[in-house]
Structure 1
Amino acid sequence: MGSWKCGGCLSCLLISLALWSIIVNILLYFPNGQTFYASSNKLTNYVWYFEGLCFSGVMMLVVAAVLLVLDNKHKCCQSENCSRKYMTLLSVIFSALGIAFSGYCLVISALGLVQGPYCRTQDGWHYAFEGTAGRFLTNSSEWTQCLEPAHVVEWNVILFSILITLSGLQVIVCLIRVVIQLSKMLCGTYSVIIQPGII
């Protein structure tokens, strides 16, 4: 019962993180709340990888929903016929998928953060900080190079950083689930125990 509560809490946490990832990714498409830059394809290319919307968002919601169902079946199982080991294996597989999805979001968001925004400078539209290897992140005085969209550097830095945090937490939660489930399988938690007095 305690392990089900732990697994259920972790799955619910994944759902919360996934919903926030979707919201943050959507905000990346609308700098300063404007739709013009998305419709005219004047956004950083990394927002079109759908890292927070699809992988760390929708796909993670699917993973979390499946894990909740598996956790619930663990709670209800009273006999070996319920195939607890089989469900534990499925839980490990889906947790591993969660690591892959959130890991993808983590990597793409980090690349987007380091590359910097696509913006209009005095030389036209381009990636003003692409060759700085992310050094512009520690020198906010350079951010004024981007004239349009207004404050796009701050917008991208904040939102990509949040996505990195959210996906990083998802990776940690899924890793915890994998460790818990593998320990159950390897340590024989589900071994058949014949209780005295039961024929």
Structure 2
Amino acid sequence: MCTGKCSRCIAISLYPLAVISIICNIVLFFPDGDVKYAKDGHITEEVKYMGGLVGGGIMVLLPAFYIHLSGSQGCCGNRCGMFLSIAFAAVGVLGALYSFIVSVLGLHNGPLCKIGVFWETPFKTMEQNYLTDDKWWKLCTEPENIVQFNIGLFATLLATSSLQIILCAIQMINGLFGCLCGTCIDKGPL
């Protein structure tokens, strides 16, 4: 496969991953489908870092547009364009890495939830692993099913950011080959 076609495939794969990251991060602001938790500030701290929106979303989506252009014929589909795609892919790696780290922290610390009358993050200091032992989940009385909600969305962000890191790293290697060897785009009949 030539470097231009590889760039287009990578970019097309990055688009849905970025959209999924953005959607997951937005949904995390509304536990139990209610805006009252966001209004009252009862949102898990890692959600406020916006790893999926900024890191896995915007910081991956913008490079994906350029990477797509670098695989097309035209001003970006040349050696210089492929060289610049390395820098854009590096931005994508950094954004996806940010999303990955925030997701890991979100899973490790657990959700902010109501226990009795207080709002706290009960799993943050717990020695037992709440991810594998669901008997601890009933500690959180409000929002309903907040533990499953956070685990599902942060795990999705973790998976998408992992794929984004891999794809952007592949594009960095692909961009290097495209810079050194050219994009092998068919110029048509002369």
Structures share fold, TM-score greater than 0.5: yes
Q: Quote the Cα distance in structure 1 between the aligned partners of 2:34 and 2:77.
A: 52
Aligned AA (1:42):
H
2:42/2:112 contact within 8 Å kept: yes
Question: In the alignment, which of 157, 163, 178 is matched to residue 151 of structure 2?
Answer: 157
Aligned AA (2:181):
T
Matches within 5 A, 1:93-132: 93-122=87-116, 124-132=118-126
Q: Relative CO higher for 1 or 2, CA cutoff 8 Å, sep ≥ 6?
A: 2
> Aligned-pair distance for 1:62?
1.1
Q: Quote the Cα distance in structure 2 between the aligned partners of 1:52 and 1:134.
A: 27
1:46/1:112 contact within 8 Å kept: yes
1:5-31 Cα deviation digits (max 9, x unpaired): 221111011111001111111110111
2:31/2:37 contact within 8 Å kept: yes
Matched, 1:16 2:13: no
Question: In the alignment, which of 80, 87, 98 is matched to residue 81 of structure 2?
Answer: 87
Q: 3-state DSSP class of the match of 1:135?
A: coil
Aligned AA (2:39):
S
Q: TM-score, normalised by structure 2?
A: 0.89
Residue 36 of structure 1: aligned partner = 36
- Count of residue pairs brought into register by the alignment: 184
Residue 195 of structure 1: aligned partner = none
Quick one: structure 1 residues 71 and 56, their matched pair in 2 at CA, closer, same or farther if it must change by over 3 Å? same
More helix by share: 1
Larger radius of gyration: 1
1:146-193 Cα deviation digits (max 9, x unpaired): 0000110000001000000001100000011111222344xx414xxx
Residue 46 of structure 1: aligned partner = 46
2:56/2:95 contact within 8 Å kept: yes
Q: Quote the Cα distance in structure 2 between the aligned partners of 1:179 and 1:69.
A: 17
Q: Quote the Cα distance in structure 2 between the aligned partners of 1:104 and 1:54.
A: 9
> Over aligned residues, Cα RMSD in angstroms?
2.2
Question: In the alignment, which of 154, 178, 189 is matched to residue 181 of structure 2?
Answer: 189
> Aligned-pair distance for 1:85?
2.7
Which shifted more, 115-124 or 105-114? 115-124
Q: Quote the Cα distance in structure 1 between the aligned partners of 2:102 and 2:122.
A: 19
Quick one: structure 1 residues 61 and 134, their matched pair in 2 at CA, closer, same or farther if it must change by over 3 Å? farther
Q: 3-state DSSP class of the match of 2:71?
A: helix
Q: Quote the Cα distance in structure 2 between the aligned partners of 1:83 and 1:58.
A: 23
| Superposed structure 1 runs of 4+ greater than 6 Å apart | none
Question: In the alignment, which of 163, 177, 184 is matched to residue 171 of structure 2?
Answer: 177
Matched, 1:142 2:136: yes
Quick one: structure 1 residues 183 and 83, their matched pair in 2 at CA, closer, same or farther if it must change by over 3 Å? closer
Q: TM-score, normalised by structure 1?
A: 0.85
> Aligned-pair distance for 1:134?
7.0
Quick one: structure 1 residues 132 and 2, their matched pair in 2 at CA, closer, same or farther if it must change by over 3 Å? same
Q: Which runs of 5 or more structure 1 residues have no equivalent in the other structure?
A: 191-199
Q: 3-state DSSP class of the match of 1:120?
A: strand
> Aligned-pair distance for 1:87?
1.4
